[in-house]
Amino acid sequence: MDVTEINRIRDQYQGGLWPQFLERVEISGLRGWGGESVVFKFPVVAVVGENGAGKSTVLKVAATAYDPKHTAYFPSDFFLDTHWDKLQGIELGYQIRLGDENQTFKIRKPTERWSFPDKRYKRSVYWFDVARTLPLDATAGYAKVARLAAGEISTEDVSVEYRTKLSYILGREYSNARFVKPDVNANRPVGLLQREFGEISQFHQGAGEDTTLDLIRAIQHVPSHALVVIDEVEASLHPRAQRRLIRFLLEFSRLRRVQIILSTHSPYILEELPPEARILIVPTTTGPTIVYGASPEFALTKLDDHVHPEAYVYVEDRTAEVFTREIIARHPQGGEILSRIRISSVGPANVVKMLAQLAAQNKLAHPGLGVLDGDQQLAPGCTALPGTAAPEVVVFQGLRAINWGNLHERFGIGAGDLHTYLEDTVLTPDHHRWPSLVGDRIIKSASSVWETMVTEWCKLCLTPAQRDPLVAEIAARLPGGIQLHP
């Protein structure tokens, strides 16, 4: 993640420098949606969820928010009546920002016809669906172009600036990029890239080159303050190119104050975005639930894998995950319990609370329990880790109180040096950095340091009074429960 770029965008967005912004959509009567809202909290957001969860529905509804200045998108373009599907009773709600004012309005389809508000607000809207990922020779009309073209009517170069961006994204130097109108059909432009061995058309480019060239060509013409919607943004790109593409889109958004809404199945895309830019759609028994800020790992974890855990334990991060697992492991029946659950780091406390509440209401496919850090306020469906502080503080200060236990033996380093490093570390205000600071001094990874310290803390500091209530809460979520031995 480019933290500097993210912070620049965050500061400018919070300062009101995006004068046109789609802030919220509300969907009712369409594909299982019953009035749920999706709020867009950052200029570039990614919508993620299982296939069929409703990602494309959100993107399509967003694309119809405005009366576009150029290409028009209407709900009827996306949500069609067919022989099998008669769509009615639909209500789409919108909240948009115009300068310092907010406007709300609805688009409805009570029976056969769509009805629109008296006033529709204009904005340039650009929609990129998954059809762009088709190979050129599989796209309608291009097979004939490939066979019969004998010349070019005209050519248009991609600007040097955007050709440089294309080279950056794909990690390959292009000396030229252009689109030509073939003499067979001027309405079927063909992209060409100049590489070290010559010029190649989109008929013979790699899939990633093909799709990214088309996207870059369109993006360079997007005006300031527009809305750009991209379905499956990572299509055909390898991980490094995915990261570079989202970094390019973040910079583009900042420079032109463009709002970008995209869908993805890629952890690499999500890792490049801040928590407020991640929107997870969780299917439940009563319709979709929207979760903001979920970790990339959890957002892309299928809750219905072939091998099912019997219950889920939701924690904030990898730090809490290790702590929870080691506490359970210290219980006489911990091995049995661990074999039947999955501990998932899902993101900030609000995400833990949301998922725990859904589980408590039996809206998820499996039982679940939220385990919050000790410094968080409890919520329905949740319990907490030992102590009244963050896990790092509990573990470090607990071991400090017993002169750091036997950590010098576990780390294989002299007690004098190690204790000096540890004492220096706890003086640092940011407790999240403590494991990495120790690791830097003793040449070990932060995760290795944390796992070792948690194991030592559980061995020397954890009491049954701290351990047993947590284990009992988890055991109670398992189907049929577990009879815990006293």
Instruction: Going residue by residue through the chain, which has 486 residues, state the pLDDT in tens, using 9 for 90 and above.
Output: 889 999 999 999 999 899 999 999 999 998 889 899 999 999 999 999 887 788 889 999 999 999 876 666 888 888 888 878 788 899 999 999 998 889 999 999 898 889 999 888 999 999 988 766 666 655 666 666 666 666 778 788 889 999 999 999 999 899 998 988 877 777 778 888 988 888 888 787 788 888 888 889 889 999 999 999 999 888 888 899 999 999 999 999 999 999 999 999 888 999 999 999 999 998 887 888 898 988 887 877 654 444 568 899 999 999 999 999 999 999 999 998 998 899 999 999 999 999 999 999 988 878 999 999 999 999 999 999 999 999 999 999 999 999 999 999 999 999 999 999 999 999 999 999 999 999 999 999 999 999 999 999 999 999 999 999 999 999 999 887 777 776
How far, CA to CA in Å, does 141 sit from each of 130, 183, 462? 18, 13, 70
394 — alpha (psi -120 to 50), left (phi > 0) or beta?
alpha
pLDDT at 199: 87
Which residue matches tokens 């252009």?
178
How far, CA to CA in Å, does 24 sit from each of 36, 253, 261, 354, 356? 10, 18, 12, 19, 25
pLDDT at 272: 94
The domain locations on the chain are 3-124+223-278, 135-219, 301-386+464-477, 391-460
Q: What is the pTM of this model?
A: 0.78
Checking DSSP bridges between strand 198-201 and strand 190-195, what pairing results, if any? antiparallel
Q: Report DSSP state, residue 46.
A: E
Distance from the Cα of residue 158 to its chain's centroid: 30
Distance from the Cα of residue 19 to its chain's centroid: 25
CB atoms within 10 A of CB 265: 17
pLDDT at 145: 66
Do residues 177 and 190 make contact, with C-beta atoms less than 8 angstroms apart? no
pLDDT at 209: 85
Q: Report DSSP state, residue 115.
A: B
Q: Which fold has domain 3-124+223-278?
A: Rossmann fold (3.40.50)
How many Cα neighbours within 13 Å face the side chain of 364? Answer: 25
Q: Residue 38 is which amino acid?
A: V
Going by C-alpha positions, the residue among 442, 319, 312 that lies closest to residue 373 is 319
pLDDT at 304: 45
Checking DSSP bridges between strand 101-109 and strand 44-49, what pairing results, if any? unpaired
